[in-house]
Copies of this chain bind each other. A is one copy, B any other.
Amino acid sequence: MKRRAFIWLLGAAAAWPLSARAQMATSDSLLPSWNDGAAKQAIFDFVRATIDRASASYVLPEDRIAVFDQDGTLWVEHPMYTQVVYCLERVPALEKILAATLTGMSVEEFKTEAKKWLETAKHPRWNRSYTELAYQPMLEVLRYLRDNAYKTYIVTGGGQDFVRVYAGKVYGIPPEQVVGTAGGTKYGYGKDGKPFLTKEPKLILNDNNAGKPEGIHLMIGRRPYAAFGNSTGDRQMLEWTAAGAGERLKMLVLHDDAAREYAYGPAQGLPDTKIGVFTPALYEEAKKDGWTVISMKNDWKRIFAFE
């Protein structure tokens, strides 16, 4: 009898939707790096409202889309965007790279180059790989949303081809779910007759500011239910998300923790560092329109996995 009951329980557990299991887990086990507070609560409220079939805001699993800015939202952007560091550190080879790009650097070569650099480059403050500097609380949000059938996208002002190199390993996000600033490519044939794609110096999508909703339309084709950002470059993406019907989650990360990471705004009297600018006007828009501002200092128990 015991064994039969156990088997029945196993079967029942298997039949129980994953989303319901996620919902029933304690909030501590779901987002362990978050302190209790309005930000954590906003995430839980949103997920519950959109996965509960009885809710007026229920969203079909196949319609669940969440978008995340990368620099400053998913990982560190100070003292300088990682991609800019990549370009600067490549200066000795830069002329060659530029020449190669213009005369036929293939998308495969670019991928290999960028991957190689990421494997050895270190952030000056923590002396760790850039790929270790993803924010642990955001990694938990990505997983929590995916466990509840949300398809998670990166929508970044950074280079699409660059971010795609590591997005799988760092965030569990496949290349086709990375939308970023993108240049054109040109199809051609090598001497061996094999086809290849060459990176072209032609801008197709400037995925910043208004370019974010435009990029979302081009690459995803529907409006997200959740959007996460940290700067004025994310404003239109959050507005576009907010303008949809039903429950929508709009969150902005505020970098107010100089001790554990960096402090910059200039919202809330924080220093204006020109990188990842969060203006007082954006802060006002967030407050007025019910977007949630995440305080790194108060809302995050820890910042990085290695802490």
| Interface residue ranges, A against B (CB under 8 Å) | 4, 7-8, 10-11, 14, 62, 107, 151, 160-161, 164, 174-176, 178, 182, 184-187, 194-197, 204-205, 210, 213-214, 217-222, 236, 239-240, 243
Query: Contacts A160-B221, A184-B214 given; 15 further ones with Cβ under 8 A?
Result: A11-B11, A107-B217, A160-B218, A164-B221, A174-B221, A175-B220, A176-B176, A176-B220, A176-B222, A182-B218, A186-B210, A187-B214, A195-B213, A197-B214, A204-B204
- Nearest CB of B to A93, in Å: 24
A8: chain B residues within 8 A (beta carbon)? 7
Bound CA span A218–B175, Å? 10
Contact status B195-A243, CB under 8 Å: yes
Given A178-B221, A221-B160, A243-B194, residue A210 in contact with residue B187 (CB < 8 A): yes
Contact status B7-A195, CB under 8 Å: no
Given A195-B239, A195-B243, residue A176 in contact with residue B7 (CB < 8 A): no
Bound CA span A204–B182, Å? 11
Contact status A217-B197, CB under 8 Å: yes
In the complex formed, the residue of B with least CB distance to A194 is B243
- Nearest CB of B to A130, in Å: 20
Residue from B7, B214, B217 within 8 A of A4 (CB atoms)? B7
The 7 nearest A-B residue pairs measured at CB: A175-B221, A187-B210, A176-B220, A195-B239, A185-B214, A164-B221, A187-B213
A243: chain B residues within 8 A (beta carbon)? 194-196
Contact status B185-A217, CB under 8 Å: yes
Contact status B10-A195, CB under 8 Å: no
Bound CA span A240–B195, Å? 6
Residue from B14, B182, B196 within 8 A of A14 (CB atoms)? B14
Bound CA span A218–B10, Å? 44
Bound CA span A240–B160, Å? 20
**Pairs A–B under 8 Å by Cβ, sample size 11:** A4-B7, A14-B14, A151-B176, A160-B221, A185-B218, A186-B214, A194-B243, A195-B236, A195-B239, A204-B205, A204-B218
